[in-house]
Every structure is written in C-alpha cells, then in structure tokens.
Amino acid sequence: MNPSCLLTIIAGILLTACASHQNAPEQPVPLPETGFSTRTDLTFSPDGWPQALQADLYLPESSQPVSTVLLVHGGGWERRSRRDMTWIAEHLASRGFAVMNIDYRFAPEHTFPAQLYDLQVAMNWLHHHAESYDLDRDAISAFGFSSGAHLVSLMALVAESRHPLNQPYGGEHARPVAVVAGGLPSDLRAFGSGKLIRQFLDGEQEDIPGIYRAASPITHVTAGAPPFFLFHGAQDMLVPASQAKEFRNRLTDHGVESELYLMHLRGHITSFLTAGNAVEKATDFLIRHNRTTPESSQAGN
C-alpha cells in the first residue's frame, strides 16, 4: 500500500476515535439504506423576493409521507453555496429523509435579518408543497453548519419565543421539530465587531448592541425550544468550542434535550471536512425525533 494512503487511513481512524459524545443515547439498530431521487434548482423564494433563491430537493423512496430536513450551508453569511452540503443531503436521503438543501442571500449586500427570512420562507415552501412531494408537515427538522448552524438555530428559537424576528415570514411552520448545529456561533456578542459579523449585522456592536443580542441564538432559549444536536471542533479557533458548550448549558438550564459531540484535534474547517461520524450520530438523533422515519415505523409494528 502507498505510504501516503496508509497515513491517510490511520489519520482517519485516529480522528474518528478522538471525539466525546455528551448525553449520548444507546446506539440504535442500523437501518438499511434507501434509494432517492433529486430535483435540482427549484426556486423557493416568493415572487418579487429581492433575490431569486434555489434549492435542491432530495426525495427518498417511500410509501408514506416522509420526514424532512432543511439543510443550510456555512460561509460566514457571505459566501459558499448549497453544493458544500451535498454529501450530507445524500446521506440523509439514503436514511429515509427528504432534504431541502438551500441557498440564501449574502452579506454585505443583504444584511440581517434577510438570511433568517430566507430560511423562514423555505420552511413555508416545504409546508405549502408538502402534499405535492409527500412530505410530513409535522416532521420537519433543520441542519446547518457554521453560519448555517447560526441561522437554523435562530429560526428555531425565535419561532418558539414569539420574538418579532418571527414576523412577517415566520410562524408555527418555521419551528423545526429538531435541530442539528455544527460549528455554531451561538453568541455573536462574544466576537466583538469582527469583519464577518460587522458586515452581516451592518454595524459595530457598540453602536447596535440590541441587534447583536437579537441575532444571538443563545439569548432566545426557552423551555419550549426543540431538541438540539451540537457538534464542534474542540480546537476551533474561528468559533471556539465554548460557544457550543455555553449554548448547551443554556439549553440544559431550561430543561431542553440536547447532545454535544465534541471532535478533538479538529478546528472549524476540519470539523466539517471530517464530520462523517458526527453526521451519522446527528442522523440517528433526527431519526429519534421524527415520527415518520423508517425506524419509528418499525417501532410501531
């Protein structure tokens, strides 16, 4: 075997082993994979939206309405695309979930809360088209990484807290039944006024402290929040692991179910590039919290 290949395999094994999973449940019975089809470049934004937004929709083979995951990419609210999340979308679809993998508007051209509104209209699209694609409206979760994790978390929490950010595009439909958040910046106030956050929120923290607070998911946690699965690189220098730990502590203080999968020896980007095991654990978490997945159907037999 080529020495470089051997080193790659050994490194992969070591990275997989170097993780801790807080509040991990018993391992579920492995499920057989299912086939799926893909509808690409569907426009989900309403007519007249400031920017036309597209998504890819992954539809698993199923004889009943299926659970769905809204999937949101990272990129500092200013770049990247849904293509980054394709491998996660395919994994979730192979496990029986429909997946809507979306793009959203970018800063600095579009500032907060534009991106949050994009997610809310995506959730509205899923509810509106549920019958057409055989989706279960009562089993829609959300999954994001980095800035995408921030957006799905904020959407879920403001929907529960009845915050003004939940209007005019939010509502009951914008509350996912469960959330997966990787590399989550949960408290934007902790980053000062760095470039990415400054252009996302359109100002310095000292000038608009209320906006920084309102845009921070950790400030919106209530006892009614949905369950969260968090995964994070322990050596993340861009979004410190303390962001996930403190967010999970806030969830625990409010009695909200959560899990934290801490990936040792990983930074921000490497925690995404080597997230295979974390995504598998997150998928198991979503299966447990969505009643229309294959596992829940088997449990009722």
**What does the angle CA 228 – CA 118 – CA 248 come to, to the nearest 5 degrees?**
15
How far, in Å, CA of 273 to CA of 69, rounded? 20
What are the pLDDT tens digits along the chain (301 aa)?
A: 454 444 343 344 445 558 889 888 766 656 678 999 999 999 999 999 999 999 999 999 999 999 999 999 999 999 999 999 999 999 999 999 999 999 999 999 999 999 999 999 999 999 999 999 999 999 999 999 999 999 999 999 999 877 899 999 999 999 999 999 999 999 999 999 899 999 999 999 999 999 999 999 999 999 999 999 999 999 999 999 999 999 999 999 999 999 999 999 999 999 999 999 999 999 999 999 996 554 444 443 3
Q: What is the pLDDT of residue 300?
A: 39
Distances (CA, A) of 219 to 205, 214, 276, 298: 16, 7, 30, 38
Q: Exposed, middle or buried by CB within 10 Å (0-12, 13-18, 19+), for 92?
A: buried
Q: What is the pLDDT of residue 30?
A: 61
The residues pairing with 98 across neighbouring beta strands, listed in sequence order, are 68
Per the structure block, which two tokens stand in for 47?
A: 């007519």
Q: What's this model's pTM, rounded to 2 decimal places?
A: 0.91
- Which backbone phi and psi does 158 adopt, to 5 degrees? -70, -30
Within the chain, strands assigned E span 19-22, 36-43, 54-60, 66-72, 98-102, 135-145, 179-182, 228-233, 258-263
* 245, HSE (Cβ side, Cα atoms, 13 Å): 10
Q: How many residues does the chain have?
A: 301
Pick the closest to residue 91 from 294, 234, 229, 280 (CA basis): 280
Q: Residue type for 77, please? A: W
Pick the closest to residue 258 from 180, 141, 154, 170 (CA basis): 180
**Number of alpha helices (DSSP H) and beta strands (DSSP E) in the chain:** 11, 9
- Which backbone phi and psi does 155 adopt, to 5 degrees? -60, -45
How far, in Å, CA of 255 to CA of 115, rounded? 29
The residues pairing with 7 across neighbouring beta strands, listed in sequence order, are none
- What domains does the chain contain, in order, with CATH numbers? 34-299 (3.40.50.1820)
DSSP state of 260: E
Per the structure block, which two tokens stand in for 135?
A: 């989706």
